[in-house]
Structure 1
């Protein structure tokens, strides 16, 4: 009895890529997220129970650290009244305005700095100097120059996000395949088409990664600005409640910010994977 071994070549699709078998199919972002939440759920429940029991048992002063049930009840009241939604909307609008402005400025500038070494050398020292200056240290400057209105808050969110996008765009441009650039140049491709068809597509994964960091930093920066000089927003809600010793409202605001941060994180991770899916597919192309 002889053993026959199938030595036929692997099945490939019309583009020449190997078909991925079901046994080796990569897990989706949704399944990975669900698995992470399932594993971490016991620790989260234990923390919630400790939060509820500690103030009621007298381990912590309930005036400064109210039980979780009271915080959740206050949170629900604020949701039903519409007050919380108004503060959330204002904070997100400010963060979004600063982030969009950062994208508009940082991505084109990063493409130019990454592509033209002379331009990068001329502007790198200024960029590095500004990048290593904390946005929180400059917050009083923004308020003094731009006032306590919307402009200062948008400026701080812009400053917080722009360097993540700029540096990641530069890195993405420099990681473009030199063989593709050389081939495009040999065919007489113009600089505009080089950017559009070769350099920018290669830089997309790095740009998206920078955007993921920039979005979260923009939100956290606008919260800090609202704590210092604002009459609305999640940061104002937290700070004002703290000063008034309305700690249940304060923790409701903090909990809201935590939930928003978690949702943003998972949405950005899913968006990053979706935006860079073609890049990973190309890396596992025909052998």
Structure 2
């Protein structure tokens, strides 16, 4: 060390090393999310291939599943099943969401509505929609209605609670400030409560969409003649594992795509929110 070095110069590195931790984290190189997704995908396929090569419970490998998917695509079976399942999921999910939002708003905004409706909502939330399949068959027959009803119920019960929490969680300061400025209840609801509840509603829609897809296979137990769930159940009888895997992967991909679309809508509609 040079004898002419000043104390300030000697302490400079120490001061630089005690900088803001958040600033240090921001300066770290970040791996793109897409790259991480691709790494996870390759790793998952690799583990799957390794387990299949070991003969774990007759597990089919990626190549066998891809071949079976090609056969189902070539003869049009997969396209027909996808369209049938999408129709049921989208209809049940749309009906469930369209009813859940106003019901959740009523429960959150009016105490009387909350007292009348909340016990029923909480009661049916504890009853799995799949447990209502026998009742749906007896009351609605074996057509499309009971299938869509079971999916509708799963989506509704997930979304209604989110909409209710969105209204209840609105900052009272905003509502009081609007009242001080002379706004009436209708204006406050439309201009303050609805925008503030939008993030909760969109999160509830994403949860409801997952519930709708999760209920699909069981809903297609009701005398279905086409659909991904129906195809998987038929393949189960013949121990056709590649077909079951094709159905599982297709449902997962469709659900993931629809969830990404809802996430994109959420980001666009809630740009006003403070990001952390």
TM-score, with normalisation over the residues of structure 1? 0.79
Of residues 243-252 and 67-76 in structure 1, the stretch that sits farther from structure 2 once superposed is 243-252
Assess, with a 3 A threshold, how the Cα gap between structure 1 residues 110 and 196 changes in structure 2: closer, same or farther. Answer: same
Measured after TM superposition, the shift of residue 90 of structure 1 is: 0.8
Corresponding pairs, count: 252
Distance 1:227 1:68, change over 3 A: farther
Q: How far off is 1:266 after superposition?
A: 3.3
Name which of structure 1's ranges 67-76 and 153-162 shifts more when overlaid on structure 2.
67-76
CA separation in 2, counterparts of 1:229 and 1:35? Answer: 43
Matches within 5 A, 1:21-32: 31-32=32-33
Q: Deviations over 1:228-270 (max 9, x none)?
A: 4311110000001111333322222222223223333433333
CA contact (8 A) 1:110 1:167 kept: yes
**1:16-51 deviation per Cα after TM superposition (whole angstroms, max 9, x unaligned):** xxxxxxx969xxxxx53x143144245313223224
Partners of 2:206 and 2:57 lie apart in 1 by: 37
1:268 aligns with 2:262: yes
Say if 1:87 and 1:232, in contact at 8 Å, map to a contact too: yes
Q: CA deviation at 1:192?
A: 2.2
Say whether 1:189 aligns with 2:166: no
Tell me if the contact between 2:48 and 2:61 (Cα under 8 Å) persists in the aligned partners: no
Match of 1:78 in 2: 72
Residues 1-287 of structure 1 aligned to structure 2 (within 5 Å): 31-32=32-33, 34-55=34-55, 59-61=56-58, 65-280=59-274
Q: Deviations over 1:30-85 (max 9, x none)?
A: x53x1431442453132232244133xxx544xxx333312210101211222101
Looking at structure 1, the residues matched to 153 and 159 of structure 2 have their Cα atoms a distance apart, in angstroms, of 11
Separation of aligned partners in 1, 2:245 and 2:60: 8
Q: Which piece of structure 1 moves more, 210-219 or 76-85?
A: 76-85
Q: Is the 8 A contact 1:54 1:60 kept in 2?
A: no
Does the CA-based 8 Å contact 1:52-1:69 persist in structure 2?
Answer: no
- Partner SS for 2:272: helix
Unaligned runs of 5+ in 1: 1-22, 26-30
Structure 1 residue aligned with 2:13: none
| Contact 1:216-1:264 at 8 Å conserved across structures | no
Aligned mates of 1:86, 1:112 — CA distance in 2: 40
Contact 1:102 1:161 in 2 (8 A): yes
Q: Give the TM-score taking structure 2 as reference length.
A: 0.82
How far, CA to CA, are the matches of 1:241 and 1:73 in structure 2? 16
Aligned mates of 2:144, 2:197 — CA distance in 1: 32
Say which SS state the counterpart of residue 89 (structure 1) adopts: helix
Give distance in 1, aligned partners of 2:170 and 2:35.
Answer: 34
